[in-house]
Chains A and B, each alone.
Chain A
Amino acid sequence: KAGVTQTPRYLIKTRGQQVTLSCSPISGHRSVSWYQQTPGQGLQFLFEYFSETQRNKGNFPGRFSGRQFSNSRSEMNVSTLELGDSALYLCASSLEPARYGYTFGSGTRLTVV
């Protein structure tokens, strides 16, 4: 079966712009989580969506937001981009949160210049 699909794979944006990243989970998975990976901070949890509702949120500023659609696809948006937002953004889907291994996508590498 198809894995977790993230688009685009690479993105270059200018400071101050906004960006939207997309994630299509494995069919049947209703939980979608987002993580940010940077060399300095490592892997950090952004938020989790389950059946279109945000259930859990990490410690990130309000510039980071997300949503989930009825087909479980999810998007995350970052507004007013800063240089420090340059990172690999990883999406993970799960059939049942915490009880099963999360399946991650290949990520979107965002570079802010």
Chain B
Amino acid sequence: AQKVTQAQTEISVVEKEDVTLDCVYETRDTTYYLFWYKQPPSGELVFLIRRNSFDEQNEISGRYSWNFQKSTSSFNFTITASQVVDSAVYFCALSEVQETSGSRLTFGEGTQLTVNP
């Protein structure tokens, strides 16, 4: 069975601080995808990044960066110079790859990030 753990329930930082959200996953599959989503108060899940299990290259997109380490089954997310607009719940998710029998996302519990001015 697949499992995603986000140990940090809530994080509170002051604007311009850097913050890292942790994600640890479990799967028996050798091929899988990892995702990060952001959920603002409006409720919609906003896609941030997708990474497949064969690509361990770290990625940077503006103020966002992701560190994927297969050896520790972790896919951590860092926001540099946080802003008040970054306040939201962030979810890490895992998806197996089954072309014929469909797919599903297994989500972590989410981390509530609050950025204070």
Contacts and interface: CB of A to CB of B under 8 A. Distances in A.
A26 to B, nearest CB: 12
A45 B105 contact: yes
B20 interface: no
Interface in A55-112: 55-56, 58, 88, 90, 92, 97-107, 109
B43 A98 contact: no
B41 to A, nearest CB: 11
A107 B44 contact: yes
Contacts of A102: 35, 47, 105
B43 A107 contact: yes
Interface residues of B, number: 28
A45 B104 contact: yes
A44 B50 CA distance: 19
The binding surface of chain A is classed by DSSP as strand
B88 interface: no
A97 B103 contact: yes
Contacts of A107: 43-44
Contact of A56 (B33, B37, B49, B101): B101
| Residue with the highest number of chain B CB atoms closer than 10 Å, among A92, A102, A109 | A102
A98 B103 contact: yes
A99 B102 CA distance: 11
| Residue with the highest number of chain B CB atoms closer than 10 Å, among A33, A92, A101 | A101
List the 6 closest pairs (A to B, CB-CB), nearest first. Answer: A55-B102, A56-B102, A104-B45, A98-B103, A43-B107, A97-B103
22 contacts: A42-B107, A43-B91, A43-B105, A43-B110, A48-B103, A56-B98, A56-B101, A56-B103, A90-B43, A97-B99, A97-B103, A98-B95, A98-B98, A100-B50, A101-B47, A101-B50, A102-B47, A104-B37, A104-B46, A106-B44, A107-B43, A107-B44
